[in-house]
Structure 1
């Protein structure tokens, strides 16, 4: 029941932030950042098991490891960009949060280009030639 601990930690942090925010807004942000990073680090350890399963599946399916590594990097970029954008939103800086999300999307697109090109090549090889 780790989710109960995670939610409990989040609720305690939220109450502390509400109490401190009126008097010391900077401390409230520090509590929010600490809580967010702590929760992120707590959950990031669980990803190792998922990565191991995905690598096993890709080996059994005969998918080259470079593609699986790229997909995992893309997923990592998405999570980190979202996490960073949410922390920035907590400070009230919506415009910077949007730019973080945009940068994450651009990096994901850049990382996906090799995979997209392989998929396009495979589709082109399946199509009959007009001759």
Structure 2
């Protein structure tokens, strides 16, 4: 029952923070527009943050269930996904650095 309780608690907490999270995302989107950040890059950053939180949550659930090996694999998968998604941003940063040199 402990695993189900942890999962249910996590889902309920997520549902409670959805409204404030939406407001926060709107504020961040406005700030990104004012700073001149391209919409595509902002979307990538949001995806990276989402993957980080979801993989951490899933990893902690597995660790609570006594599945440490599975938790480690989930963390690794999250890191690989983050690297794959952030390639356009890394490429642009590298391009900017190389044009400065």
TM-score (norm 2): 0.92
1:126 offset after TM fit, Å? 1.1
Runs of 4+ in 1 over 4 A off after TM superposition: none
* Structure-2 residue corresponding to 1:64: 38
Q: Give the 3 Å change call, closer, same or farther, for CA 44–97 of structure 1 in structure 2.
A: farther
Match of 1:49 among 12, 23, 30: 23
Instruction: Tell me the distance in 2 between the aligned counterparts of 1:79 and 1:112.
Output: 16
1:46 offset after TM fit, Å? 2.2
Instruction: Tell me the distance in 2 between the aligned counterparts of 1:41 and 1:81.
Output: 18
More helix by share: 2
Instruction: Tell me the distance in 1 between the aligned counterparts of 2:88 and 2:38.
Output: 13
1:49 offset after TM fit, Å? 1.4
The 5 A counterparts of 1:30-109 are 30-109=4-83
Structure with bigger gyration radius: 1
Could you tell me which runs of 5 or more consecutive residues in structure 1 were left unpaired when the two chains were aligned.
Answer: 1-26
- Superposed CA RMSD: 1.2
Instruction: Tell me the distance in 1 between the aligned counterparts of 2:7 and 2:18.
Output: 16
* Structure-2 residue corresponding to 1:123: 97
Instruction: Tell me the distance in 1 between the aligned counterparts of 2:83 and 2:55.
Output: 13
Check the 8 A contact 1:81/1:104 in 2, yes or no: yes
Task: Kindly provide the CA deviation profile for residues 80-108 of structure 1, in whole angstroms up to 9, marking residues without a partner as x.
Answer: 00011111111110110111011000000
* Structure-2 residue corresponding to 1:20: none
Secondary structure (helix, strand or coil) at the match of 1:46 reads: helix
Q: Which structure exhibits the higher relative contact order, with contacts defined as CA atoms closer than 8 Å and separated by 6 or more residues?
A: 2
Secondary structure (helix, strand or coil) at the match of 2:86 reads: helix
